[in-house]
Amino acid sequence: GTGYLTEVSHSLNGNALSTLHSASDASFNPMVSSNNQRQTPEGSIGLKRRIGLMSGASLIVGTMIGSGIFVSPKGVLQRSGSVGMSLLVWTGCGLLSLLGALCYAELGTMITKSGAEYSYLLEAFGPIPAYLFSWVSVFVLKPSMLAIICLSFGEYVVGPLSVGCSPDPLLVKLVTILAIGIITFINCFSVQLATQIQNICTVAKLSAVAIIVVGGAVKLSQGHIQHFNKGFEGTSSSFSDIATAFYSGLWAYDGWNNLNYITEELVNPFVNLPRAIYFGIPLVTVCYVLINISYLTVMSTTEVLASEAVAMTWASRVLGVMAFLMPLTIAISTFGAGNGTDFTTGRLTFVAAREGHLVGILSYVHIRRFTPSPALITNAILAICMIIPGNIGSLIDFFSFTAWLFYGATMTALVVLRWKKKDIARPYKVPLVVPFVVMAISAYLVLAPIIQQPQIEYLYALLFIVSGLILYVPFVHYKLELRIMDKITVFLQLLLEVTPTSPITS
């Protein structure tokens, strides 16, 4: 059959599943266990299918639109060198995200386990690449995403309050930590609450987008086209500049793969996953390109380059006394993106731990709330560690480099599975050139900066990825168990009221 996939989905009984990770078996606490048997019939503890099409689309749109579009236009313009090229880069990033997401639609409807890249790499290449992905994601990528997003939240909340002086960095960090705390609480508290907040934030940010687009259209119609006259003059001819311009833009588009992390919680994933992708990503692309046109209608390139936060300068020009609305909506927008990021990260951690690639407790779920709270709390702690030294720019470059390394690898997984698993049903099938195109572009994005301007950070990133093997060999491959871990697990299980899960049933 289809190997572990069928094995997992057929073992509806909680005990059968807990043998999948022996640590949980040994530490399964009778008190907690009898408790949950009273509350719910055996086998039904786990994440539930609760996300519909609208919430799914809002998870994509709402995590894609975060801080990036309000901050990155400067980076894209600087690195691409001209107005024309920057608009092309923004469009290109959208197209690339769409192509990538179409491949993920095939993968996600064929392998309906949550965890996106993790589950696909596991199916195509076996445990080691999947493990390395979860290692880098859980310990670096995902917490640094949450950190970047919440830092922007902090800046936009503290900024308007500190009139006339630059915002106090300590205060910004405190507000950031507060935001991470609140987001984590919401996500541990209830899936419904988290999705409702996600939906509200998405509506709020789409209104902000609409304001910027309409404001720009009004100015354009008044004949402010002088900044577009230069077209492609000054376009950078360096390959690595264009690649890093893409890095800035792609950060704003990141999140196009978010729904794939929670396929197990999606109602009717075969239909809703592709639909949410078809709807969400073109919508975001159109918004981003129009927003950039609006920025450039109101500001010259020099002004965009001089502005730390383009959207704010834009607002003070166009909105006048209502300019205070802008930081408010950006704060809501980043909060929503942070919430969506945290939501999906919890699931990735959960799936990798369920497979035995991370400490067992990370796959436990709250006995009444059905949320993966240990995974969420771990993510929060790591994110807080990252904001303490935090410099956003370098975080973003490192992020895009590593992320595209794995997106490229996932494209390879799609191609390999076409041939290795010919007979699996594929409710959605992407034309085979698409993964090849995305693969080529991601290879370019990863290699061009390394070749043209080697920076030691890229080497560190690679070393970090490989260093995951040091833990893999003893703990995953040889299944080494530390006595103390059982004690810790039991303690945490009682403290957090969590239990091992049974697999998702529809």
According to the binding rule CB under 6 A, does residue 145 interact with ligand ARG?
A: yes
Q: 292: closest CA among 62, 80, 445?
A: 80
Rounded Cα distance, 411 and 425, in Å: 18
What is the number of helices (H) and of strands (E) in the chain? 24, 2
According to the binding rule CB under 6 A, does residue 68 interact with ligand ARG?
A: yes
* Residues in contact with ligand ARG, shown as a per-residue x/- string from 184 to 223 under the rule CB under 6 A: ----------------------------------------
According to the binding rule CB under 6 A, does residue 262 interact with ligand ARG?
A: no
Beta-ladder partners of 499 = 365
According to the binding rule CB under 6 A, does residue 255 interact with ligand ARG?
A: yes
SS3 of 500, please?
Answer: coil
| Contact with ligand ARG (CB under 6 A) among 51, 64, 102, 414 | 64
For ligand ARG, the closer of residues 209 and 337 by Cβ is 337
Residue list 340-379, contact with ligand ARG (CB under 6 A): 341
According to the binding rule CB under 6 A, does residue 119 interact with ligand ARG?
A: no
Residue-wise burial string across 368-407, b where 16 or more C-beta atoms lie within 10 A, e elsewhere: ebbbbbbbbbbbbebbbebbeebebeebbbbbbbbbbbbb
What is the torsion angle, in degrees rounded to the nearest 10, for the CA atoms of residue 72, residue 78, residue 83 and residue 85? -90
Please count the residues of this chain forming the interface with ligand ARG, following the rule CB under 6 A: 14
Least Cβ distance, residue 151 to ligand ARG (angstroms) = 10
According to the binding rule CB under 6 A, does residue 134 interact with ligand ARG?
A: no
According to the binding rule CB under 6 A, does residue 258 interact with ligand ARG?
A: yes
Element (H, E) at 365: strand 365-366
Backbone angles phi, psi at 499, to 5 degrees: -145, 155
| Contact with ligand ARG (CB under 6 A) among 106, 117, 241, 254 | 254
* Residues in contact with ligand ARG, shown as a per-residue x/- string from 308 to 347 under the rule CB under 6 A: -----------------------------x---x------
Q: Is-contact 404 446, C-beta < 8 A?
A: yes
According to the binding rule CB under 6 A, does residue 117 interact with ligand ARG?
A: no
Alpha-carbon Rg for the chain, nearest whole angstrom, is 23
According to the binding rule CB under 6 A, does residue 383 interact with ligand ARG?
A: no
According to the binding rule CB under 6 A, does residue 67 interact with ligand ARG?
A: yes
According to the binding rule CB under 6 A, does residue 80 interact with ligand ARG?
A: no
Nearest position to ligand ARG, beta carbon: 66
Q: Is-contact 422 110, C-beta < 8 A?
A: no
According to the binding rule CB under 6 A, does residue 55 interact with ligand ARG?
A: no
For ligand ARG, the closer of residues 17 and 330 by Cβ is 330
For ligand ARG, the closer of residues 63 and 292 by Cβ is 63
SS3 of 498, please?
Answer: strand
Beta-ladder partners of 51 = 266
Backbone angles phi, psi at 365, to 5 degrees: -125, 145
| Contact with ligand ARG (CB under 6 A) among 149, 179, 208, 438 | 149
According to the binding rule CB under 6 A, does residue 252 interact with ligand ARG?
A: yes
Rounded Cα distance, 70 and 367, in Å: 40
Question: What secondary structure, in 3-state letters, does 38-68 show?
Answer: HHCCCCCCCCCCCECHHHHHHHHHHHHCCCH
Q: Is-contact 367 498, C-beta < 8 A?
A: yes
According to the binding rule CB under 6 A, does residue 177 interact with ligand ARG?
A: no
Least Cβ distance, residue 252 to ligand ARG (angstroms) = 4
From 65-73, 212-220, 297-305, 407-415, span contacting ligand ARG (CB under 6 A): 65-73
Q: 108: closest CA among 341, 344, 338?
A: 344
Contact positions toward ligand ARG, by CB under 6 A? Answer: 63-64, 66-68, 145, 149, 251-252, 254-255, 258, 337, 341
